[in-house]
Structure 1
Amino acid sequence: MSNLIDGDHQFNHPNTRRRICNVCERPATVCLCDSIPAEPLSTTTQIVILQHPHEQRHPLATVPVLNKCLRNCQTLIGRRFRRGDSPLLDSLHDAAAEENPNQSLHAAFLFPGTDITPSMEINQWKSSFGDVDMNKFVLIAFDGTWKHAKEMVCASFPFLSKFATQVCLTYDFNVDGGTIFSSDLILRKEPFGGCMSTMEAVARCLRILEPNGVEIESKLIGVLRTMVRFQASFLKSTKTRPKLLKKGKRLEKD
């Protein structure tokens, strides 16, 4: 394997194929090193992400980039959270089981609610603890398609519900989700209004949970916006095709 050096970036290009940046681990044509913080951002909030195995291989996944941007973020690959996956979550589970939870550490998992499993808006959840300067948070998120995320939440609920509150950002099941053509923050078509990439969702939550959340959100959103801009540059604008007449009617018209 040979390397090319371009400024501060080093690119691998096995067998003269496309170059991959050694830092952000993305193709050179969509390198994010100029956008990703030089040093990972520190947060008091601990972030735990469950990433579906299929999402791990998706070229538009935002979690690998998010991990490079945040110091206090861990990603687990799988289809459900359970005991033994994370020492942090295990400790929260055990403390709750002993009815002696650590009052300075509060956990929430991010997912829209239903009639059966209602969710609390994250602003309201955070406010319920009063002086947030005396509290620390654990934010749990799911990374996958909408179908996969629902399956992961359902499978993880018996474990997470013992110690974590289900929270949400604003959403609306009755509104169509956006696309890359309607927003500079959307990489893939979203199923309904309020849905967003894992990176954007974590950024919005950290704005609320962190003392310097506005600054952290701004930096993460800036990286995401660059990702979307790169992706959009490879797409052709969609134009409605003229409706073709059936052969018989076309001949009749001629």
Structure 2
Amino acid sequence: MNASLLSRPGRCAQCQRPLARCLCPLIPSLEAACPVLILQHPSEARHALNTARLAYLGLKGTELWVGEQFEELGARLAQAHRPVLLFPGPQAKVAGSTGPEEKPDLIVVPDGTWRKARLILHRNPVLQTLPYWMLPDGEASRYRLRKAPDPQAVSTLEAIVRLMQIMEPERDFRPLLRPFEQLIEEQIQAMGLDTYQRNYPTSR
């Protein structure tokens, strides 16, 4: 499903936020260090904190496909010479630990909860034939409205930003996080500081 088909009345056609809280002025336009294909579970497309869409809008060379099963995925992967799958596992190599000869020309990123991301892998077996990459340990996620089971778990946007930074350390991809941080602040304000601190006592 094409990402452009997700617009709803009363909302910005790009960032999908209510028009009064449009995030587009905060979204940069950066060249990707490597083309990215995000495979987004449909439930994430409707989520208020849709970080994959922020990556799609702010990073040139990014594709956003929405669904569980993708008939055209095999043909898309065949267009790449060295596609990789960003997904942890015992067989995964740590991003940045490989030589330049193994630099990918397409990074596939499943977007959803762990259960739904695994469902995407199950429904699209061709993904399981790709080399797996995982992120090295890093700082805690800025996603302060999520209780992640793993302290190293990050949002899709954060994962992509970290990966771009690893691939091209001389560039600064942090501007991609600006609309994400604004979105978090808006959500905290909407729920109220007391409610936020009561439900997320360890967040900063």
TM-score relative to the length of structure 1 = 0.64
Shift, 1:73, TM fit: 0.6
User: What is the aligned partner in structure 1 of residue 126 from structure 2?
Assistant: 159
Shift of 1:139: 1.0
Q: 1:153 to 1:191 in 2, by over 3 A?
A: farther
Q: Is the counterpart of residue 169 in structure 1 residue 127 in structure 2?
A: no
Amino acid at match of 1:89: L
The CA distance in 2 between the partners of 1:195 and 1:66, in whole Å, is: 17
Whether 1:222 and 2:178 are equivalent positions in the alignment is yes
Question: What is the letter of the counterpart of residue 73 of structure 2?
Answer: D
TM superposition shift of 1:123: 1.5
Q: Which residue of the partner structure matches residue 209 of structure 1?
A: 167
Q: How many residues align?
A: 188
5+ long unaligned stretches in structure 1: 1-12, 93-101, 173-177, 241-254
Structure 2 unaligned blocks of 5 or more: 1-7, 199-204
Task: Report which of the two has the higher share of helix.
Answer: 2
The structure, 1 or 2, with the larger RCO (C-alpha pairs under 8 Å, 6+ apart) is 2
Q: CA deviation at 1:219?
A: 0.9
* Corresponding position of 1:192: 150
Q: Does 1:20 align with 2:11?
A: yes
Judged with a 3 Å threshold, the aligned counterparts in structure 2 of structure 1 residues 49 and 230 are, in CA distance, closer, same or farther, namely: same
SS of 2:55 mapped into structure 1: helix
The C-alpha deviation readout for 1:159-192, integer Å capped at 9, x for no partner, is 1243x310111469xxxxx8xxxx6434433231
CA contact (8 A) 2:84 2:108 kept: yes
Residue 44 of structure 2 corresponds to residue 88 of structure 1: no
Q: What is the CA–CA distance in structure 1 between the aligned matches of 2:39 and 2:13, rounded to whole Å?
A: 25
User: Residue 31 of structure 1 is aligned with which of 8, 22, 39?
Assistant: 22
Query: C-alpha distance in 2, partners of 1:45/1:79?
Result: 24
Matched, 1:128 2:99: yes
Task: Give the superposition deviation at 1:204.
Answer: 0.7
Percentage identity across paired residues of the two chains: 28
Quick one: which of 72, 76, 92 aligns to 1:119? Answer: 92
Runs of 4+ residues deviating >4 angstroms = none
